[in-house]
Structure 1
Amino acid sequence: MKVEFYKHNIGEEEIRKVVEVLHSIFLTTGQVVYEFEDKFSHYLGCQHTIGLTSCTAALHLALLAYDIGPGDEVITTPMSFIATANAILHVGAKPVFVDVEPETGNINAELIEAAITPCTKAIMPVHLYGQMCDMKRLKAIADEHRLKVIEDCAHCIEGERDDIRPGQLSDAACFSFYATKNITSGEGGAVSTNNSDVADKLRRLRLHGMTKGAEERYGGKYQHWDMDILGWKYNMDNIQAALLLNQLERIEELMKRRQEICRRYEMALKNIDGLSFPRVLPNSKSARHLFTIWLDPNKRDSILWKLQENGVGVAVNFRSIHLMKYYKDTFGFEEGMFPAAERIGKSTISLPLYPKLTDHEVDFVIAKIKEALNF
């Protein structure tokens, strides 16, 4: 038996919608993208969403939209995918890491103020594995020090904490629709904001800095365009949006099944010596993007490989960013600087988690974990 690490949720309705787009005139950014943006904003309770090609693009443009660049610092977490910190570098700013909460892997809000300098312009929290950071605390810190908050929500569309959802307290919230995400268009992303001026700027930034998109130029009487800002080529197309629309309608249904799978894992694995997993806080609704287990760092890789040999698809999310060669060489980061993040990075294994996973397959994964641990 083999259990894949991930299977997407694309079905016949998504395929039908894509075929409909392929038979239409507009394949690039048009009415299907605008429909998705409106529905995604409604789901979040945000005023504006701008569809993009990735969450990396969303982070990059959000920083640009708030005029963050060379000489500036952005406080973030080393426990994330490299795109979080890379986006800060792409605008010429410097990522300043603070350590994470040992029980969740999220940025430790109590350590942020000590990292603030006159160069600090923003905080970029990451809602790791789908559980939101303490946004009320982060917002209070940001307001006190006049900082922007740009959320990396690559793992967290459906999450909630203290009655706060993504995008509610931040200046921008950035989302991923990558192949393994809770809803997917293969590649894709979005940025949501409640600031109308910033939303307008983001729309221009996603398309070279042009004042009019293709549909506006060619959808009726031709309209001349101008370029009033230096932008990028990051616009979501109608094909990507077509894949997302029906998944968005089913997002809570898909979430319910992932929750059931996570609880099955938790019940079976909670009393095993040498194994732990991130804690979902009582006041939180995790989006349940990833289910990770934490093991003895000295045994992690051997267990990882044994699970693969026994038919279980696994991954590592993530090794700590500051210990990547580029970051060590560029900034002089060393082991021991962020011990909580380092411990997680050396001990973590991500297990299969997706709605198509059957109870039988979940039980197979559990059995193979116990076998690998000689439990």
Structure 2
Amino acid sequence: MSDSSSLPFIPYGKQWIDEDDISAVVEVLRSDWLTTGPKVTEFENAVAAFCGAKHAASYANGTAALHGALFALGIKKDDEVIVPTLTFAASSNAVLFLGAKPVFADVDPDTLLIDPKKIEALITPKTKAIIGVDYAGQPCDWVALQAIAKKHKLKLLADACHSIGGEFNSKKVGTLADITVFSFHPVKQLTTGEGGMALTDSDEYAERLRLFRGHGITSDHRQREKTGAWFYEMQELGYNYRLTDIQSALGLSQLKKLPAFLKKRRELAKYYDQAFLGSEDIKPLKTDKNALHAYHLYVVRVPERDKVFKILRERGIGCNVHYIPVHLHPYYQREQGTKIGLCPVAEEAYGKIITLPLHYSLSEKDLERVVCELKNAIKA
């Protein structure tokens, strides 16, 4: 085993910030508007145009955008929303924020995306929506999800916090559900520091998305200044979930680089695919032939995952695990009555999955080191 004690730590995810990004932020810091100003609208319009959606409403983070999206879809107390269990807790937490109940669906064993075949058995008269999560950056089978939603008259929400730039059946993520939500956390394909966005083609949903992020108030201070009026009304119980112009300027600059970021991520994933081809011990997730993967994460199954994880970390490889199935979290078991055995495919996968480093600044030498250390860890 090679000596890696003196080599730098390789994180699983990392932002890429250049001088253009810094200049864009500094320009806003010198302007009249730090928040609720013109850069917010410019960023929203740019993301909507990139995805081919009619409307985009920015939010403080992806979780806030999920909360706002469910509000816009009309989710209320005691409603039920079907959500995959193999996701970050925010996907189902947002359901709880509105007093509704998340109903956990199991995942497909090959892709770890929500399994459409498992959904219909979970539908009850209280079911109002389905959340599809584009796990790791691969779009769900949105054709199947759309068919189920249409058949049962349910709303469809895309948690696409991993998949900006992805496609399914040559249709861009952002146009595949009633509302689509993105996250711009630093480990995502582009970053605003913290930030999120909700996209929709519905005028009604767009209005409710914007209302919810600003205390439920009908106008913001920039609109009132423009019209020379003071009057506003609080129509709904909303939240202060706004994105700033500072963050939006960073997002606009990052968005220009997004095609290059995505290209590099797909090249890195291809390198891993080829390195693990035919391996009995390292099993990458499968990609649907109809999907264009956005590769937020690169996930593999390995034997004795916890031991492999420990060895990799000791060797300076910043692997991670995504995720503990949500229904296994203590809070959900205690407060929602979920139990081991509820989603056996996700539970089996959780014991084996490990996330390998994947970000724009990785070099081929870094990749060689990751692959070598992973294979050596498994041998050990």
Shorter-chain TM-score bucket reads over 0.9
Q: Which amino acid is 2:107 matched to?
A: V
- Rounded to whole Å, the distance in 2 between the matches of 1:275 and 1:262 is 14
Q: Which residue of 1 aligns with 2:185?
A: 178
Q: Which residue of 2 aligns with 1:351?
A: 356
Aligned-pair CA distance for 1:220: 6.2
1:162 equivalent to 2:176? Answer no
- Does the residue aligned with 2:351 lie in a helix, a strand or coil? helix
- Rounded to whole Å, the distance in 2 between the matches of 1:334 and 1:169 is 32
TM-score normalised by length of structure 1: 0.97
Q: Which residue of 2 aligns with 1:93?
A: 100
From 220, 223, 248, the counterpart of 1:241:
248
- Rounded to whole Å, the distance in 2 between the matches of 1:193 and 1:56 is 17
1:277 equivalent to 2:275? Answer no
Q: Which residue of 2 aligns with 1:69?
A: 76
Q: What runs of 5+ residues in structure 1 fail to find an aligned partner?
A: none
Aligned-pair CA distance for 1:167: 2.8
Q: Which residue of 2 aligns with 1:333?
A: 338
- Rounded to whole Å, the distance in 1 between the matches of 2:270 and 2:337 is 41
Q: Which residue of 2 aligns with 1:302?
A: 307
1:315 equivalent to 2:317? Answer no
Q: Which moved more, 1:285-294 or 1:162-171?
A: 162-171
Q: Which moved more, 1:158-167 or 1:69-78?
A: 158-167
Provide Cα deviations, 1:142-198, integer angstroms capped at 9, x if missing partner. Answer: 111110001100101111111232232311001100121110111100100110121
What does 1:116-195 correspond to in 2, within 5 Å?
Answer: 116-195=123-202
- Identity %, equivalent residues: 38
Kept in 1, the 8 Å contact 2:213–2:240? The answer is yes
- Rounded to whole Å, the distance in 1 between the matches of 2:338 and 2:282 is 29
In angstroms, what is the RMSD of aligned CA positions? 1.2
Q: What runs of 5+ residues in structure 2 fail to find an aligned partner?
A: 1-6
- Does the residue aligned with 2:234 lie in a helix, a strand or coil? coil
- Rounded to whole Å, the distance in 1 between the matches of 2:250 and 2:213 is 20
Kept in 2, the 8 Å contact 1:276–1:294? The answer is yes
What does 1:15-30 correspond to in 2, within 5 Å?
Answer: 15-30=22-37
**Post-superposition, which runs of at least 4 consecutive aligned residues in structure 1 deviate over 3 A?**
none
Aligned-pair CA distance for 1:337: 1.8
- Rounded to whole Å, the distance in 1 between the matches of 2:378 and 2:17 is 35
- Rounded to whole Å, the distance in 1 between the matches of 2:177 and 2:272 is 33
Aligned-pair CA distance for 1:221: 2.6
TM-score normalised by length of structure 2: 0.96
Q: Which residue of 1 aligns with 2:266?
A: 259
Aligned-pair CA distance for 1:274: 2.1
- Does the residue aligned with 2:81 lie in a helix, a strand or coil? strand
Kept in 2, the 8 Å contact 1:216–1:223? The answer is no
- Rounded to whole Å, the distance in 2 between the matches of 1:205 and 1:337 is 34
- Rounded to whole Å, the distance in 1 between the matches of 2:221 and 2:137 is 35
- Rounded to whole Å, the distance in 2 between the matches of 1:219 and 1:14 is 29
